[in-house]
Structure 1
Amino acid sequence: MKKLQEIADDYRRVKNYVYTRYGGIGSLSKLYPGYTVQNEMTNSGLRAKLAMPSVYFYRAVFDALGDIKSQWARTKSKLLKLIARNENLNAQEKHYLRFLLKANNAFDAVLNQKPIELPQEMQDKYEELAVEIDLEKLHRYLNRQVRKYHVRMMHTDKADGFYITEKAYRYGESQNGCESNFHTKRHGIYIATKENRKRVFIPLTDENAYTKQLYIRLLPESNGIEIHIPIAIKTKTHWDYTNEIGLSVGILCMLSTHEGNVYGAQFGALHQEWVEYMSMAAGTYRREKENNAGRKKYLARKAKLDAKIESYVNQEINRMIQTEKPKIIYLPKLPANSSAGHNRKINYSVGIWRKGLIRERLQQKCLEHSVQLVEVFGKGISSECSVCGAEGRYSGDVFRCSICGYQADKKVNAARNAIKRGQEKADH
Structure 2
Amino acid sequence: MDTIVKTVKQHSFELDEETLKEVRFIGNQFKNVKNYVYSRYSGINGIPLLSNPRQIRDEWTKSKFAQQWKLPARYWKLALSEAMTNIKSEWSNIKRRIKEQCKVNDNLTKKDRHYINYILKSNELYHRILTHKYYDVPSKFKDVDLNFKYLNNLIRRYTRKYKGKIPYSYKLTTFSVDTGLYSYIDDGINITCTKKGKRLPIRLTDSNKYDRTLIIKVTENKIEIHIPLKIKTKYHKDYNNIIGIDKGYKYLFAVSSGRVYGENLNDYLSKETERLNEINTKRNRFYALYNQHIEQGNVKKANSILQNNLGKVKYNYNKLKHNEAVKSYINQSLNKLIDTEKPKEIVMEQLDFVNWNGRYPKSVRRKISRWIKGYIRERLEYKCDYNNIKYIYINPAYTSKVCNKCSSFGIRKGDVFTCPKCGEIHADLNASINILDRKDDKEISLYTNYKKVKKILENRAI
Q: TM-score, structure 2 length as denominator?
A: 0.44
- Greater RCO (Cα-Cα under 8 Å, separation 6 or more): 2
